[in-house]
Amino acid sequence: MILRIGILFFLCTLLACSSPPVASTKGQVSKSPQPKTSPTKSITNNHHILLLGLDGIGFKTFKKMQEGGYFRSFRPVAPMVASFPSISDPNWAKIMRTPLEVSFTKEHFDRELREGKGEMKGGLMDHVFHPPGYESYFDYRPEGALQHLASMTYSETSGLYWLDALEKKLLEETKKKIFTAFIVNTDFIAHTKGEMGILHYLRELDRKIIQLRERFFKNFGEKLEVVLVSDHGNVFLKPKAVDVDKVLQEDSWKLGEELKSDGDVVMVVPEILSFAPFFSRKGQEAKLAKSLSRVEGVHVALYLTGPFQVDFLAQNGRSHTRAQFDFKKSTVSYHVLKGEDPFQQIQYFKNGALNLNKYFQETLNDEYPNAIVRGFEGLTQNSLQKPSVLVSPLLGYVFSNKTLELITKILGLESVHGSFQREESQGIFVSTDRDLPPVYPGIVLDYIN
Ligand SMILES: [Zn+2]
């Protein structure tokens, strides 16, 4: 994201970009898979709902606002625990139940190309000219290249302006019972202006929501419930870069952009994020994960060891744990094969396999909430192109490169997300009218539709 901001900043200063997003004609949300639980649905009243998607607003930050006296018109906030990685594309696609993106980020490695040697695809401008599919399922969203540019570069100004435009649109849409809107600016504000920047924006948002609901009632005599949902959190710190080169060299891996032989590795780092996907030839995953677990700043390296089985390596390969899933029974079991459990969750499995929903509830406020399930999802169901090994770093570390670091020095980087860590993982789920429970992305719409 920071890379985008850096380069696009120069483009955007040449352009005047301030027209508000237009409303979508689609608006229909596609039904699809797998809610693992069936929550109580409670929308029976004859009122209207505005579902407002805010990118990257952390549970901790929002809770701080509520404790400080803001968002009093809302019920207490609950966490929306992101799948892994804790980044936008896979999580919004799951929240909105839209088709998966090719990869976690626009720039990605397509291992199917060139007879299995693979090729790097996508790039910077795709973020602007080919926005992810889930955006089009929101009734109201940034449209076109200029508005995406505005969101990234003039994030606070355009974010507030668009709230006004949204209100105008909503007051025209009298027939719609459920109206969905997406504001991407909040994540940019968190990254570039830090927690103070995001608190300032949220104060304005609170004020505008109160005003919007009053005007809605005045105009139509009907109630407007506002539900806020966010795809992941942000942890506010100055990160250090993970350097994989030295260890990969020592272990005779060749880091590059194609997979010609068993020793080849591809790492995809298009943005400064606290996770990274790695690609190797088939059969090399365990060896690669072991090397990656030796890298300073790495928390866990994970890879599939069966269709429903994921292994986690940590602490220089001294720690090895394994999770097995039984989706017919909706259970997960977890075993320490060697060393310590990197998630400190083995105590929940004293009596054997655990119901997936119980595991979610038990680990909700742990340092790594729902990590075992999210790790499996990251390897199997969050993108079309599946990585060989996924890596989640320790708190405070990110994956990066020299160009990204240079841009960051110039523009500043105040927050990161991507890993299993709690603050990075927990977005928000909160309503003006109902106590909403903690959720994972796949069940958010169960509380709206
Ligand atoms: Zn996001």
Domains identified in the chain, total number: 2
Residue 197 makes CB contacts below 8 A (sequence gap 6+) with: 156, 189, 190, 414
User: Would 28 be classed as within a structural domain?
Assistant: no
Asked if residue 201 and residue 100 are part of one domain, the reply reads yes
Measured in angstroms, how far is the CA atom of residue 420 from the centroid of ligand 1? Answer: 15
Measured in angstroms, how far is the CA atom of residue 188 from the centroid of ligand 1? Answer: 9
Full domain range(s) for residue 306: 240-416
Rounded distance between C-alpha atoms, residue 199 and residue 55, angstroms: 14
User: Would 23 be classed as within a structural domain?
Assistant: no
Range list of H helices, 221-322: 245-250, 285-293
Measured in angstroms, how far is the CA atom of residue 206 from the centroid of ligand 1? Answer: 20
Measured in angstroms, how far is the CA atom of residue 353 from the centroid of ligand 1? Answer: 32
pLDDT of residue 109: 86
Asked if residue 308 and residue 159 are part of one domain, the reply reads no
Task: Identify any residues that bridge with 182 across adjacent strands, giving them in sequence order.
Answer: 53
User: Would 57 be classed as within a structural domain?
Assistant: yes
Range list of H helices, 234-370: 245-250, 285-293, 356-363
Residue 270 is encoded by which pair of tokens? 């298009």
Asked if residue 400 and residue 288 are part of one domain, the reply reads yes
pLDDT of residue 359: 98
Rounded distance between C-alpha atoms, residue 154 and residue 273, angstroms: 21
Rounded distance between C-alpha atoms, residue 377 and residue 371, angstroms: 10
Residue 218 is encoded by which pair of tokens? 């005045």
The number of beta carbons lying within 10 Å of the beta carbon of residue 236 is 19
Asked if residue 331 and residue 220 are part of one domain, the reply reads no
Cβ–Cβ under 8 Å, residues 234 and 190: yes
**pLDDT tens-place string over residues 100-157:** 888 888 788 888 888 888 888 877 666 666 777 788 888 877 666 666 666 665 666 6
Measured in angstroms, how far is the CA atom of residue 31 from the centroid of ligand 1? Answer: 22
Measured in angstroms, how far is the CA atom of residue 115 from the centroid of ligand 1? Answer: 33
Asked if residue 87 and residue 207 are part of one domain, the reply reads yes
Rounded distance between C-alpha atoms, residue 379 and residue 398, angstroms: 19
User: Would 29 be classed as within a structural domain?
Assistant: no
Measured in angstroms, how far is the CA atom of residue 405 from the centroid of ligand 1? Answer: 21
Q: How far is CA 90 from the centre of its chain?
A: 6
Measured in angstroms, how far is the CA atom of residue 182 from the centroid of ligand 1? Answer: 11
Measured in angstroms, how far is the CA atom of residue 287 from the centroid of ligand 1? Answer: 32
Asked if residue 226 and residue 173 are part of one domain, the reply reads yes
Q: Is 273 exposed, middle or buried (CB count within 10 Å of its CB: 0-12, 13-18, 19+)?
A: buried
User: Would 394 be classed as within a structural domain?
Assistant: yes
Measured in angstroms, how far is the CA atom of residue 408 from the centroid of ligand 1? Answer: 19
Measured in angstroms, how far is the CA atom of residue 281 from the centroid of ligand 1? Answer: 30
Asked if residue 249 and residue 356 are part of one domain, the reply reads yes
User: Would 403 be classed as within a structural domain?
Assistant: yes
Rounded distance between C-alpha atoms, residue 197 and residue 208, angstroms: 17
User: Would 13 be classed as within a structural domain?
Assistant: no
pLDDT of residue 267: 93
User: Would 443 be classed as within a structural domain?
Assistant: yes
Asked if residue 383 and residue 435 are part of one domain, the reply reads no
Measured in angstroms, how far is the CA atom of residue 371 from the centroid of ligand 1? Answer: 18
**β-pair type (48-54, 240-241):** unpaired
Q: What CATH code is carried by the domain that includes residue 166?
A: 3.40.720.10
Measured in angstroms, how far is the CA atom of residue 198 from the centroid of ligand 1? Answer: 14
pLDDT of residue 188: 86
Asked if residue 367 and residue 439 are part of one domain, the reply reads no
Asked if residue 244 and residue 172 are part of one domain, the reply reads no
Flag residues of the chain having pLDDT under 70: 1-46, 124-129, 142-159, 161, 174, 403-404, 406-408, 410-411
Asked if residue 209 and residue 182 are part of one domain, the reply reads yes
Asked if residue 178 and residue 276 are part of one domain, the reply reads no
Measured in angstroms, how far is the CA atom of residue 45 from the centroid of ligand 1? Answer: 31
